[in-house]
Structure 1
Amino acid sequence: MKSSQEIAYYFILSLLAASVVILGLVLLFFCRRKPVESEESLPAARISAQAYPSTDIDAATDGFNHRRVIGSGRLSTVYAAVLPSDQKLVAVKRIHPSLVLSNACFGFSSILKTLSLAQHPNLVPILGFSQAPGERIIVMECVGGMSLDYYLHENPDGASSVLDWSLRIRIAAGAARGLEYLHEGMTPNIVHGCFKASNVLFDDMFRARVSDYGLSSFVANKKRGLVGHVDDEFWSDGRGEACKESDVYGFGVVLLELLTGRRAEEGLLVRWALPLIREMRLSELLDLRIVKPSDTRAIARLAKVASACVNNSRKSRPTMFQVATILNNLEIEVCA
C-alpha cells in the first residue's frame, strides 16, 4: 500500500501534466496564424477623384465651346464632354471664375477627393477634377437624362407625359436613399447644402440620381437659387450654414413640388401647401395636370412626410433615415 507521501507526489505530478496541456492549448489558440483572405473576399477599395490635366479638359470641351453647354447654375456652367484618354462621355462643371478669384474654392482638391468617395446607385458620382490659374473644374458622370425640375416645370409635353403618381413616389424614394447615404453612409457625413429639384437627375432607367452634393461651401454667401429651398434657420447667422436639417427641409420642398407641380417660389409654395395638407384638402393640393388616383392613401402619406420636413423646427424635424424608411415602404406598396 502506497504511503501518503507517494500519493501526494503522484497528485502533484498529475497537476503539473494537466497544467502543461492547458498551457499548450492556450498558446495554440492565441498564436495560430490568421488565414489569409482571398482577393475576392476583400472589400473593393474606393478610389478618389482623378486629377486631369487642363489640356485634357480643354480638348474634351472643344475649348469650352458654348454648343456643349447643357446647364448653368449658381456654382458653375456644365458642358457635355468626351475625355480624350478613353472617349468617355462626362459632364464637366466649370466653376464660375468670380468664385475662383474670390478664393471661395480654397481646399478644392481635398474636398473633391473626399466627395468622390461617395458611391451609391442614387448619386451622380464625381470622377475627377482639374485645376489651373483661375480655373476649377469638376468632372462627373454624365447620366444622360434631364432633371426633375425640367420634367415638372419646363417639359413642353407636360409632366403628365412622364411623371404619373407611382413614378413620383419612386422618384421621391430614390432621392431619399441618395440623400440618406450622404448623411449616414459616409464618414465624415456629407451635407448636400443645396437640395432642390434641379439637382435630381435621371439616368436611362429613369432612376433618381442626386447631384452637386457637398459643394455648398464654394458658394456659401450666394442666396441666388437657395431662397425657398432652405429653412429660415439657414440664414440666422448671416453666413448661410448648411446642415442635415436644412437638407431635410429642401427635400420636403421637392416633395411639395412633386405633389403640386408648382415651383418653390421663394417659400410661397410651403406657405400655400401646409394649410391644405393639415386639412387634407388633396383636391386643391395635387397637380391638376394628372388624374388623381382613386386611392389617395399613399399620396396623403407622402404629403404628411413633406409637411413634417418643412413644418417642424430643426429639433423636431425627421432625419433622412426616417424619411427614407417611410418612402421605401411606400414605394414597395405602390410600385411593386
Structure 2
Amino acid sequence: MNTAEEIAYNFFLSLLAIIIIFLNIALLLSCRKNPSPETEPELEDSSPTGSVSAVAKARAYQLSDIDAATYGLNPLRIIGQGSSGTVYAVVFPGDDFVAVKRIHPSLILLNASGFEFSSVIKTLSSAHHPNIAPALGFSQAPRERIVVMEFIGIQNLNHLLHESPDGASLLDWRRRLKIGCDVARGIEYLHERMSAPGGTIHGCVKPSKVFIDEKFRAKVCDYGIWFNGRRRGIVGYVDAEYWNRGASKESDVYGFGVVLLELLTGGERRKGC
C-alpha cells in the first residue's frame, strides 16, 4: 500500500468511526425519547428479600419429564446449538411451547463448584420485562443441568443479520433501531432492576442471544448463567478483562457495542465487522 492509499484508508476508517459514534448517539437518544409502547409494568415485590416470588415462579422438572418431552433428546427437536448447550422445542402436557436448554456436560464438570444451579434459576425466573425471555424452570441431576425457558421462536438476530437471505429486506433501518433499543432496555433491566443483589450479569451479549418474536420485538435470552473455561463462541464479544475477572457488567456493555456495530453495518464480527 503506497502513501496515498494509506492516507485514504486511514481517512475512511476515521470517517466510519465518526459515523458509528453519531449513529450510537442517535440510537441512545431515540431509546430515551421513545420508550417501548409495549413495556409492561414491573411486578411489585412484597417479600423483604425478593426471594419468595422468585422461588414461587421457577418450577422444578423431573429429568424423566424432560426426557419424555424431548423424545429422549431427539435431534429432530433441536432448534439451536451453541457453545454452552443445545436447545430443544418441546410441549409439556397442558402447557404451551417451551424451549429446553441442556447445558454441555463438559461445562458442568468445569464449574461443579461455581454456583448453586437451582438457586440461580429461581432468581432468574423473577425477570419480568418485555425485552427479556424469562427462565420458567429447571431440572438437574449428576452431570445434567437443564433450563426451561419461554419459547419465543427460532429466529434470532444472528440468523437475520448473517444467514437469512431475506434478512436485509426484513431489517430496515426502523427495525434495526427498534431492535437496538430493545436490547439496550433488556440489558439495563438485568443490570439495574433485577431482584438479585447488584443486578444480574448476562455473561455474553451477542446476536445469537437475541431472539426476535413475531412483532419484531427483541428479547434477550441466556442471561445470568456463564461458565469459567469457556472460550468458543464468545471471543470478540467480551472485553480483554473478561479473561482475568470473568463476566461483568462492563463486558456486557462491550458485547452490546459489538451487537450495535453489526446492526448498523451489517458486517459480521468474525469477518471483520
| TM-score between both structures, scaled by the size of structure 2 | 0.76
Secondary structure (helix, strand or coil) at the match of 1:128 reads strand
Asked if 1:262 corresponds to 2:267, the answer is: yes
Q: Which amino acid aligns with 2:176?
A: R
Q: C-alpha distance in 2, partners of 1:184/1:81? A: 32
Match of 1:16?
none
Match of 2:258?
253
* Residue 98 of structure 1: how far off its partner (Å): 1.4
Q: Which amino acid aligns with 2:84?
A: L
Match of 2:236?
228
Distance of aligned partners of 1:153 and 1:73 in 2 relative to their CA distance in 1, 3 Å threshold: same
* Residue 87 of structure 1: how far off its partner (Å): 3.4
Asked if 1:109 corresponds to 2:109, the answer is: no
Match of 1:137?
146
Q: C-alpha distance in 1, partners of 2:165/2:78? A: 20
Q: Give the root-mean-square deviation of aligned CA atoms.
A: 1.7
Match of 2:207?
197
Q: C-alpha distance in 2, partners of 1:197/1:225? A: 11
Q: C-alpha distance in 1, partners of 2:210/2:86? A: 17
The answer (yes or no) to whether the contact 2:136–2:149 under 8 Å persists in 1 is: yes
The answer (yes or no) to whether the contact 1:48–1:114 under 8 Å persists in 2 is: no
Q: Which amino acid aligns with 2:130?
A: P
Secondary structure (helix, strand or coil) at the match of 2:146 reads strand
Higher relative contact order (CA 8 A, sep 6+): 2
The answer (yes or no) to whether the contact 2:110–2:229 under 8 Å persists in 1 is: no
**The structure with more helix, counted as a fraction of residues:** 1
Q: C-alpha distance in 2, partners of 1:93/1:112? A: 12
* Residue 100 of structure 1: how far off its partner (Å): 2.2
The answer (yes or no) to whether the contact 1:147–1:199 under 8 Å persists in 2 is: yes
The answer (yes or no) to whether the contact 1:79–1:93 under 8 Å persists in 2 is: yes
* Residue 132 of structure 1: how far off its partner (Å): 1.8
Distance of aligned partners of 1:44 and 1:204 in 2 relative to their CA distance in 1, 3 Å threshold: farther
* Residue 146 of structure 1: how far off its partner (Å): 0.5
- CA displacement, residues 97-145 of structure 1 (integer Å, 9 cap, x when unaligned): 1122334464111111111111110000100000122211000000024
The answer (yes or no) to whether the contact 1:145–1:206 under 8 Å persists in 2 is: no
Unaligned runs of 5+ in 2: 1-42, 47-52
Q: Work out the number of aligned pairs and report it.
A: 220
* Residue 56 of structure 1: how far off its partner (Å): 1.1
Q: C-alpha distance in 2, partners of 1:44/1:246? A: 29
Q: C-alpha distance in 2, partners of 1:103/1:197? A: 25
Alignment of 1:1-336 (within 5 A): 43=44, 46=53, 47-84=56-93, 86-104=94-112, 106-157=115-166, 159-187=167-195, 188=197, 189-216=199-226, 219-235=227-243, 237=244, 241-265=246-270, 268-269=272-273
The answer (yes or no) to whether the contact 1:93–1:137 under 8 Å persists in 2 is: yes
Secondary structure (helix, strand or coil) at the match of 1:90 reads strand
Distance of aligned partners of 1:103 and 1:249 in 2 relative to their CA distance in 1, 3 Å threshold: closer
Distance of aligned partners of 1:107 and 1:207 in 2 relative to their CA distance in 1, 3 Å threshold: same
Unaligned runs of 5+ in 1: 1-41, 270-336
* Residue 59 of structure 1: how far off its partner (Å): 1.3
The answer (yes or no) to whether the contact 2:111–2:228 under 8 Å persists in 1 is: no
Q: Which amino acid aligns with 1:208?
A: A
- CA displacement, residues 235-290 of structure 1 (integer Å, 9 cap, x when unaligned): 2x2xx511111111100000000011111118x43xxxxxxxxxxxxxxxxxxxxx
Q: C-alpha distance in 2, partners of 1:96/1:234? A: 21
Secondary structure (helix, strand or coil) at the match of 1:101 reads helix
Q: Which amino acid aligns with 1:196?
A: K
* Residue 232 of structure 1: how far off its partner (Å): 1.7
Identity of aligned residues (%): 57
Q: Which amino acid aligns with 1:177?
A: R
Secondary structure (helix, strand or coil) at the match of 1:258 reads helix
* Residue 176 of structure 1: how far off its partner (Å): 0.6
Higher gyration radius (CA): 1
Runs of 4+, deviation exceeding 2 Å: 42-48, 100-106
- CA displacement, residues 35-72 of structure 1 (integer Å, 9 cap, x when unaligned): xxxxxxx9476333110111211111111000000111
Q: Which amino acid aligns with 2:120?
A: I
